[in-house]
Amino acid sequence: MWRYYFSLGLVCVVSASLAQVQKHFKIEHNNRYKSVTLNYGSSSGICYISPGTSDEPIAVYSERDIDEFNHSFNKSTYAGDLEINLSLEDKNKQTFSQSISSKVFNSSDSEDNTWKVYLTEEIPYDLNLVFGVGAAFIDLSSIKVSRFNVRTGSADVNIDYLSNMPNPVVMDTFNIKVDLGNVVVRKLYMSRAKYIHAEVGFGSMQLDLTETPTVPSQVKASVGAGTLEILIPKNDCSVIIKIKDTMLCDVHLTKSFREISNNVYVNDEYNENAPNQLSFDVDVSLGNIIFKEKR
């Protein structure tokens, strides 16, 4: 469904007939930029992040007027590295209890607070994204991402590679933290991340690792009182899982795993010398962690 919104966003950018859409923030392309660090935060609303059609390091569009929201936007450069800081905050910022109420009763006015953020495919990024209330839809197709960090309060975050174009560079760390919200990461294997860190508080998270990684991936996960579901390959991938649990949590593994030592499990394909090992180190307190194989 949200593929449609990305397409719509691109149409809105280039179509002169949709005069309501405004470009609020941008940075012109500069051949001297070697990398980009983007620190982006929004307190509420709906955010779409995707590859753009220009070479601008960032271009941000919205139908809202500039005086309807508080914002902070600045940039700095050092030795060819560009750092962008963009913070968006609704003037009618919700309190923590109001954000929970909006989550439970679906009373948020996020539909009137939509942002479209376009990135270039030319320059590698370190992405640091923070979302409060609402939703985020992130398409990382073809974007060079060296590091990825996303944190959500009660917002629902969807991450995907919609065009089936993987990360052109090897990513160092893919870091995700959810408090009350829900996070779904589809085709996470396309990130080509060496390290994946996942932290769940009271919310839920799903990680799609159903294809054999092209680089070895180490996944470190912790679950408080929420739920983490991890989809793993059924064949042709060596997998090892180390679990630290308590009597108050639930851990579900498929029947293909066997225990080789205390709370250490491997699948039938396991080989300690496998070049593209998929390894998990998980810590569960009160919540649930579920491993499912690709069907």
What's the confidence (pLDDT) of residue 9? 45
The CA dihedral of 174, 52, 45, 43, to the nearest 10 degrees, is: 50
What's the confidence (pLDDT) of residue 1? 52
What's the confidence (pLDDT) of residue 42? 94
Contact call for residues 131 and 158 (beta carbons, < 8 A): no
N residues, the chain: 295
What's the confidence (pLDDT) of residue 15? 38
Residue 179: closest CA among 123, 119, 141, 130: 130
Query: Hey, where are the domains in the chain?
Result: 1-17+26-97+110-169, 171-189+198-295
What's the confidence (pLDDT) of residue 18? 45
Contacting residues for 217 by C-beta, under 8 A, at least 6 apart: 189, 193, 194, 195, 196, 209, 276, 277, 278, 279
Segments in the chain below pLDDT 50: 4-19, 95-96, 98, 105-109
What letter would DSSP give residue 245? -
What's the confidence (pLDDT) of residue 246? 81
Contacting residues for 9 by C-beta, under 8 A, at least 6 apart: 48, 50, 61, 116, 118
What's the confidence (pLDDT) of residue 94? 52
What's the confidence (pLDDT) of residue 113? 85
